[in-house]
Amino acid sequence: MTASAPAWTRETWPIAAAMIQYPNVLADGRSVQEQSVEEWAATLDDVVDAGFTELDPTDSWLRLADLSPARRDDFMALARSLGLTVPAISTSRRSVIDAVHGDAYLAYCHRVIDTAKAIGAGAVSFGLFEPLTEAQKKALWFWTVDGAKNPDDPAVWQKAVARIRELGRHAEELGIEVSLEMYEDTYLGTADSSVRFVEEVGLPNVGINADLGNLIRLHRPVEHWQAMMAKVAPFTKYWHVKNYTRVEDPGTGAIITHPAPLESGLINYRAAIRTALDHGFNSAFLCEHYGGDGLTVSAANRDYLRRILPRR
């Protein structure tokens, strides 16, 4: 891929807040889908107070695509009134090859694409990872327990490719980019597999969400982040960024990981982003962080990104 000039400067690059620290089900049993505009505002005030001007609703919090048009317009009017834009919409644990809900999730992902167009978002992020298992829900950090795996079945692989291609063509018609999230034990669970998958989909608007944090946090051997980044950089689109410390004891084989700010974890994001930029990366970022006050850490991560992105 030939590198192109970025569309933004470090001050204007869209860097969105994720909403993964906010649950969809409230303490009173209601869903965020049912909240009033005033209740949504109370949550979005946190995002604004953290200094964000971009937001990804992240459908683990709010499924914009499942709101009525009037309610969606109410949400977007609220966001605009608070100075927030939505550059992209991320989905979570709604795999189009889920053995039970795959057809419904495929239809949902089409609605997400239409919603992105309706609200002026330029990208969507899809993944092939499934809901957390009961064992994962009980663990302190869910990634320390193995979850669902995409089957080692060529027919299911081809079904996944066909369904993502279908979504990609829909998105292409609307000028939307599709970014596929790297995640363990899925068909995008390694750099090599991710590249192979995207190449088989074969659409220029479909690329890779290079969320290497999902992989380096695993308590198992993984490819070095630099090697992974070198492979996926030519295909990187809308990008979820987070970081972890990682300690490996070669004597015992023990591996320990823990969430960390972008600037102090294992992945050198200054180098990773420059690698992506060298291959023409020109998409928005999403800041995520697990543990503690994830929104505040994400805000610090946003500020770090603004220091290392191109000046012009």
What pLDDT does 2 receive?
A: 42
> pLDDT tens across 204-257, in order?
999 999 999 999 999 999 999 999 999 999 999 999 999 999 999 999 999 999
CB atoms under 10 Å from CB of 312, counted, come to 8
Please check the confidence at residue 4 and state whether its pLDDT lies above 80: no
Q: What is the pTM of this model?
A: 0.96
Domain 15-307: give its CATH architecture.
Answer: Alpha-Beta Barrel (3.20)
What confidence score (pLDDT) does residue 1 get? 41
Tokens of 90: 């991320």
**Percent of the chain's residues with pLDDT above 70:** 98
